[in-house]
Amino acid sequence: MYEIRLNKFRDIMKEERLDAYFTLNPSNIYYLTGYRGDSAYLLITESNAFLYTYPLFKIEAETQIHKSVEVKILEGKDLASLVAQDLKNSKSMGIEESISLHMFNLLYCKNNSRIRQITNLVERLRAQKDESELDFIKKAQKITDDIFQYVLDNLKPDRLTELDLAAEMEYQMKKMGAEGYSFKTIVATRENSAIPHARPRNVLIRNNSNLLMDFGVYYNGYASDMTRTIFIGKADDEFKKVYTTVLNAQKKAEENVKEGEKAKDIDKIARDIIKEAGYGEFFTHGLGHGVGIDVHESPPVNSKSEIILKEGMVITIEPGIYLKDRFGVRIEDMVLVKKDGYEIITNSPKELIEL
């Protein structure tokens, strides 16, 4: 699997006229080699791959890494010199834009290769998931669905604060088999839910109020991401109108997901429905994003994205309406792009729940 990925990446290197590529992005290193530890650097050439790390991580690297990658331990050795040695006759090396200026200068001074900063090469491959990746993502989402059901079964008004519920959800994630949360859990009620990335407060979750929960987990290095908004008590007509608008926008956008569609067109479908209902100015973010090793990765799904959806991409569809100082509603699923349609990976109910 990792050897196949490395060879596919070498094809991309050829397209970009690169003899070598250097990365220190942990997600890219995991994707290409299987290594999930800290403090590592990966050099890929036309015929070899080298992972440089420190003695502290030697056993971990040699245990996890694929045999097609050579592990080199940085024990009293200069990284830039080792890279120069392994580059040999390379004339052009690509490096990621996220690399530090210090690291760039070290590589530049020690190497004869022409160094070119370039971005999203590995991410281009990562955007389309293989079967093993889809299996991990679906298992991560299964735990996420179970967490939501746990909340529905156990939530009582006036007993927990937003912070309490966020902590309980994160505790249950690990009990259910997750490695941990894929981002800090968002639990927000009433006016706090009108902030798209709200921070949980030490405020009680009370009766006759909405509750927005945005959360996900990691399973074997792959993320899930889901949002549900429920109402504790009996929702009023305005909340129901906002909720129905968001749900309709989400469903219609999902129904149009398939290979060959432009990401920005999917965004427009949801955005137009919200505009027509009179809430256009209150939908303040893109419709979604890719999910995989990183919870936010390629492809972006927003009004400016020129990405063409391809089979195997996993994206979120998460429209929202946020009424300042009042309440917010967001509904989010993970969706797998298929050649002739889509598969909703998220299995939690999303019709309005009134507890």
pLDDT per position as a tens digit, 72-104: 999 877 888 888 888 877 788 888 877 777 677
User: What's the fold here for domain 131-344?
Assistant: Creatine Amidinohydrolase (3.90.230)
Sign of CA dihedral 68, 179, 347, 265: negative
Please tell me the pTM assigned to this model: 0.94
Residue 254 reports pLDDT greater than 70: yes
* pLDDT at position 84: 82
Confidence band, pLDDT 50/70/90 cuts, at residue 347: very high
Average pLDDT score, the chain: 94
Region 194-203 average pLDDT: 97
CATH 3.90.230.10 residue window(s) in the chain: 131-344
Rounded-to-integer distance, Cα 250 and Cα 244, Å = 10
Contacts of the segment 296-303: beta carbons below 8 A, 24+ positions apart: 297/27, 297/123, 297/126, 297/127, 298/120, 298/123, 298/124, 298/126, 298/127, 299/127, 299/263, 300/263, 301/263, 301/264, 301/266, 301/267, 302/263, 302/264, 302/267, 303/264, 303/267, 303/268, 303/271
Residue 110 is predicted with a pLDDT of 63
DSSP bridge pairs for 116: 94
Distance of CA 268 to the CA centre of its chain: 22
| CATH class of this structure's domain 2-126 | alpha beta
Contact 260, 269 (CB under 8 A): no
Residue 146 has pLDDT above 90, yes or no: yes
What residues does CATH 3.40.350.10 cover in the chain?
A: 2-126
